[in-house]
Structure formats: C-alpha cells, structure tokens
Amino acid sequence: MKTGLYFGSFNPIHTGHLIIAQHLLNETDLQQVWFVVSPQNPFKQQKTLLNEYDRLYLVNLAIQKTSGFKATDIEFNLPKPSYTIDTLTYLEEKYPQHEFVLIMGSDSLQNLDKWKNAETIMQNYPVYVYDRPGFPADQPEIKQLTRLKAPLLEISATHIRELVQQGKSIRYLVPDEVLDEIEKSGYYKLKNPAK
Ligand SMILES: Nc1ncnc2c1ncn2[C@@H]1O[C@H](COP(=O)(O)OP(=O)(O)OP(=O)(O)O)[C@@H](O)[C@H]1O
Ligand SMILES: O=C(O)c1ccc[n+]([C@@H]2O[C@H](COP(=O)([O-])O)[C@@H](O)[C@H]2O)c1
C-alpha cells in the first residue's frame, strides 16, 4: 500500500496541513497519509512545544472523520530528537507491506541536506514535494522526486500560538474540534506550558 508520511511537530495541527494531506490523497497515487507526530524536531527548540501526547490527541481530533488519514506515535518510543531516517528504517521493518513516500513542503526541502543521513534519504526514498510560498523546490539530488501543485495557504502553527496568546480567535485556522480542545485545555496561553 502506497503510504505518504507527513512528518511534523503539529504544535498544533492546522488547516494548512489538512488541506495538503487531503489534496495528496485526492490527486496522487497515495492510498493513505500518516501524520507522524515528532516529539522533538532536531532543528526546533521551542518553549511553547506542547506535550507530544496532547499534540497527538489534537491530530486525532482533526482527522477522525477522514478515511485514509492516520496519526502515529511511532516516534514517541524512538530516541530523541526525532531523526527521520531512524523512523523510516523502523517503519519499513514494522510494515513491510507498505511503500512509504515522504511528503514535504519546499521549505523543508531546503534543509534536507542537513538532516541525519540525508544522502540515504535522497537516494532511497520517494519524496513528494509541494510548493511553499517563497521556497523554490529545486533539489536535483533526490533520486525519486515528485513535484506537486498544491493549494498555498500561509497558515503556520507559530502564528496560531501567537493568536492564542493574544486572546484572538483561531477559528477556521484549525478544525472546530481542535479549537474546542485548545480552548478547553488552555493550551498555548502560557509562555512555558507544563511538559
Ligand atoms: N500552511 C501550510 N501549508 C502546507 N504545508 C505546511 C503548512 N504549514 C506547515 N506545513 C508543513 O507541514 C509539515 C509539518 O509542519 P509543522 O508541524 O512544523 O508546522 P508549522 O506550521 O510549520 O509549525 P511552526 O510554525 O511551529 O514551525 C512541514 O513539512 C511543513 O513544511
Ligand atoms: O532527520 C533529521 O535530521 C530531521 C531534521 C529536521 C527535521 N526533521 C523532521 O522533519 C519534520 C518536519 O519538520 P518541520 O521543521 O517542518 O516541522 C519533523 O517531523 C522533523 O522531525 C528531521
């Protein structure tokens, strides 16, 4: 089964992520998209990083009505920070019947050569890249690169966290279920949430 892996901190998941994932299911040969919640991105140190279980819960709330989407906590039990090559190796062993494809925005592509074992990733895994505003998607070293057109939405988790801190509404930037849970639990209101 051809399965797209959408890696991210998802702090929190937002409509930008979801529209891209749905677009990929609709417009490519992917049969499933898995949201891989990374406990700790090697390149991001965030005081506002919500506990990974809470982020996973928000992802599950966001995708519960969509067939073809799955959230995975696979990185929770792998060493931190979360290196994508380690996750890919683990997933391949655990799910031999799946053919995994990396999904990434052209912004991530620009840093890819700095990732752990970048060469192995670029030589061995199919990568589906969609454009992000301001980031050209040129990366000829990737052996199996597919460039996709996708809706451009300038939504970021950073902006969502800032809006919550300022007491402003994030309606429509996240699904209603996610909005309700963020409000109910008081996420992102404090500068240093409990981990
Ligand atoms: N608006 C968006 N449209 C399409 N892809 C996005 C969007 N926002 C983030 N992504 C992509 O989703 C993946 C996971 O992103 P991540 O969880 O870091 O979200 P983020 O909104 O970029 O977070 P932050 O603002 O905290 O850095 C990355 O590959 C990123 O490029
Ligand atoms: O493997 C690496 O070296 C590596 C370096 C940077 C980022 N990643 C992963 O890429 C995913 C998306 O990153 P980001 O910065 O767009 O949130 C996230 O899940 C990270 O764990 C992975």
> What pLDDT, in 10s, does the model give residues 115-134?
999 999 999 999 999 988 88
Who contacts 183 (Cβ-Cβ below 8 Å, separation ≥6)? none
pTM for the complete prediction?
A: 0.94
Phi/psi class of residue 68: alpha, beta or left (left: φ > 0; alpha: ψ in -120 to 50)?
Answer: left
ipTM: 0.95
pLDDT tens readout for residues 57-91: 999 999 999 999 999 999 999 998 889 999 999 99
Low-confidence ranges of the chain (pLDDT < 70): 137, 139-140, 190-195
Start-end of H helices in 33-156: 52-63, 84-94, 106-109, 118-124
Residue 15 has which token pair?
């409509």
At residue 78, what is the residue type?
L
CA atoms of 189 and 164, how far apart (whole Å): 6
Q: Does domain 2-154 match CATH 3.30.470.20?
A: no
CA atoms of 182 and 14, how far apart (whole Å): 12
- Atom 1, ligand 2: which residue's CA is nearest? 83
- Atom 7, ligand 1: which residue's CA is nearest? 16
Pocket of ligand 1 (CB under 6 A): 8-11, 16-17, 20, 104-105, 107-108, 132, 153, 155-158
Residue recorded with tokens 């800032």: 162
Supply the pLDDT for residue 49.
93
HEC per residue, 11-46: CCCCHHHHHHHHHHHHHCCCCEEEEEECCCCCCCCC
The bound ligand whose nearest atom lies closest to the alpha carbon of 89 is: 2
- Within 10 angstroms of residue 143's Cβ, the number of other Cβ atoms is 12
- Atom 4, ligand 1: which residue's CA is nearest? 16
Supply the pLDDT for residue 139.
63
The bound ligand whose nearest atom lies closest to the alpha carbon of 103 is: 1
Supply the pLDDT for residue 195.
43
Main-chain phi, psi angles of 149, to 5 degrees:
-85, 135
- Atom 14, ligand 2: which residue's CA is nearest? 8
| 96 Cα–ligand 1 center, Å | 28
Domain boundaries, the chain: 2-154
Supply the pLDDT for residue 143.
92
